[in-house]
Amino acid sequence: MKRLKSYMLLLLLGITGAKTVYTQTSFISNEKKHTVAQLKEEIQLLRKNLETIHTGLYTYTDSLRFATVFDALETSITTPLSSIELYRKLLVLNQHIKNGHTAIKPEVAYERYIKTKAPLFPLELYFDRDTLYILKNYSHNDAIKEGSILNTINGENAAAVFTTLRNQLPRDGYNTTFPEKVITDTFRRYYAYLKGIPEVYELELKTPEGVKQQLRIRGLSGEEIKKVKWERYRDNKQWWGFTGEPLMTLDIKDSIAVMKLKTFSIYYLKKAKQNFRKFFSNAFDQIAANNVQQLIIDLRDNGGGDEMPTLQLFAHLSKTPFTFYETMYTKSNRVPNPKLYNYGGFLMNFLYPTFKLKRKGDVYEIKGIPGLKEFPPATTVFNGDVYILTNGYSFSATGEITAFIKHARRATFIGEEVGGNAKQHVSGTTFTLTLPYSQIRIQIPVELFRLRVAHKNTGHGVIPDYYIKPSITDKLNGKDVEMEFAMELIAKKKKINNNKSVFK
């Protein structure tokens, strides 16, 4: 699996921010302080490894500016710090690297405590038009109404806190839809990383009727939240990677086909007992047999995976042969400190460069990648109208396929800006560096993928033709506004459809 692991690990990232004056739960790892000399050594070590192996380090921030950033980090270390305190300082790097596959993670023990025992913020939130709403209430205070506006958390402007967290998260370039999705789904964890872990959350709300409320709620552990979620909402929904349910589906009704693709990860497709080649072949055969005129491809929340399924999909949309990648390379064939990585030095500094890399000038080209070769059209090519639904979680390999489809002018895009970059990104083979004293982990992708498309790297993903985002009312009522909009476009199109065959 090329990219999906990076995307999932992003959900465990932390954020930097100001201190809270509220009583905090204690955690033993926070009490251990590392010396100034140790902390500076770690910053120097991290700098050396990023500069050596991160192929996209200077895409958005040049080397001189990066030198200034690292120098400032070192200078800021004047007293001993705990691991989490150093972690919060390091997160400034996300603002300069601007790579969605690069992850800075706290030490394992702290991360585990947050997941299992820490009293976390027990509300599910939704951010829309600079306002933070309460979508679900998992607290023990049933006076909190869904749809209320959350004005403050522990004395701070709630929308500003949300925005601060979002702005500190990694993303490809200048994209904001991806980090907004991540922080929306995992706000309580990020809040813990940013503010610590208050035992009580003091809130100021405005109900849907306009009534102001001031109240206190206690934090709940992950297990407590899970229990309330089921009791109050009958929601025991799991991430699709754990369910075993089909991850690629097709539904045909009234000559309209809806293809839902939750992932392009071959690993997870195999777990769900699905073969992507058979799925696409059978799906487009069914589309042809039913004389489908309009195809909706739902790529919302598809965090990527491997390039082969995306190649296979585009082969059913293209009349001519195509080549996905313009180039793929890495900047180095070895890591400076192999003992500090998750893989052994033999694998990283011998097996990987020997079997996957080929020296070309100042870089090392990646060998054996299907997307570098010309790919033929499929036997059954759909030539009708294509509508693609996207959001910020349409990331990584999904960023690639949407960019390629946009380049070929083969679809109308509906929804939010795609989270993955439309021209290039750094992902693929990824190594995790663990700093020796703080045990902070840095996930470093090393392979640069550049697409054979006309788009320039603006630091953004594919921009939709029609920007559609659910309102808080839509979310509360369970409305699928993107799909409804696509159906409305199709209904208008059908009025002038001449019912000609859309297959060669």
Query: Residue 384 pLDDT > 80, yes or no?
Result: yes
> How many residues appear in the chain?
504
- Give the residue from 263, 304, 268 showing the smallest Cα distance to 461: 304
- Output the CA angle 189-193-197, nearest 5 degrees: 80
In angstroms, the CA 219 to CA 122 distance is: 6
The helix (H) or strand (E) run that includes residue 153 is strand 149-153
**Residue appearing with tokens 């993928």:** 449
Predicted pLDDT of residue 1: 43
In angstroms, the CA 174 to CA 61 distance is: 12
Q: Which two tokens stand for residue 103?
A: 């992850």
Give the pLDDT band (50/70/90) at residue 7.
Answer: very low
Query: Residue 163 pLDDT > 80, yes or no?
Result: yes
In angstroms, the CA 314 to CA 231 distance is: 44
In angstroms, the CA 458 to CA 424 distance is: 10
Predicted pLDDT of residue 24: 56
- Output the CA angle 273-275-280, nearest 5 degrees: 135
Query: Residue 267 pLDDT > 50, yes or no?
Result: yes
What phi and psi, each to the nearest 5 degrees, are found at residue 406?
-65, -45
Predicted pLDDT of residue 500: 54
In angstroms, the CA 504 to CA 497 distance is: 18
Query: Residue 243 pLDDT > 90, yes or no?
Result: no
Render the burial of 336-355: b for 16+ CB within 10 Å, e for the rest: eebebbeeeeeebbeebbee
pLDDT in tens, 395-439: 999 999 999 999 999 999 999 999 999 999 999 999 999 999 999
What phi and psi, each to the nearest 5 degrees, are found at residue 380?
-110, 115
- Every domain of the chain and the residues it spans: 1-237+334-360+428-447, 241-324+375-420+465-494
Stretch 21-26: mean pLDDT, rounded? Answer: 49
In angstroms, the CA 207 to CA 111 distance is: 34
Give the pLDDT band (50/70/90) at residue 22.
Answer: very low
- Give the residue from 362, 355, 306 showing the smallest Cα distance to 332: 362
Looking at domain 241-324+375-420+465-494, its CATH class is alpha beta
Looking at domain 1-237+334-360+428-447, its CATH class is mainly beta
pLDDT in tens, 314-343: 999 999 999 999 999 999 999 999 999 998
Helix axes of 177-185 and 158-168: crossing angle, nearest 10 degrees = 120
Predicted pLDDT of residue 20: 35
- Output the CA angle 314-317-320, nearest 5 degrees: 90
pLDDT over 90, % of the chain: 86
Predicted pLDDT of residue 238: 81
In angstroms, the CA 13 to CA 167 distance is: 13
- CA dihedral angle for residue 173, residue 178, residue 180, residue 185, rounded to 10 degrees: -150
Stretch 140-156: mean pLDDT, rounded? Answer: 96
Query: Residue 293 pLDDT > 70, yes or no?
Result: yes
Query: Residue 61 pLDDT > 50, yes or no?
Result: yes
Query: Residue 236 pLDDT > 70, yes or no?
Result: yes
Stretch 111-138: mean pLDDT, rounded? Answer: 95
Two domains, one topology: 1-237+334-360+428-447 and 241-324+375-420+465-494: no
Query: Residue 17 pLDDT > 80, yes or no?
Result: no
Contact between 344 and 338 (Cβ < 8 Å): yes
Dihedral sign of CA atoms 273, 279, 281, 287 in order: positive
Query: Residue 4 pLDDT > 90, yes or no?
Result: no
Predicted pLDDT of residue 237: 80
**Side-chain-side CA neighbours of residue 482 (13 Å):** 26
Stretch 444-473: mean pLDDT, rounded? Answer: 97
Query: Residue 9 pLDDT > 50, yes or no?
Result: no
Stretch 352-359: mean pLDDT, rounded? Answer: 94
Contact between 400 and 338 (Cβ < 8 Å): no
Give the pLDDT band (50/70/90) at residue 495.
Answer: confident
Predicted pLDDT of residue 452: 97
- 364 to 6, 90, 426: CA distances (angstroms): 22, 29, 14
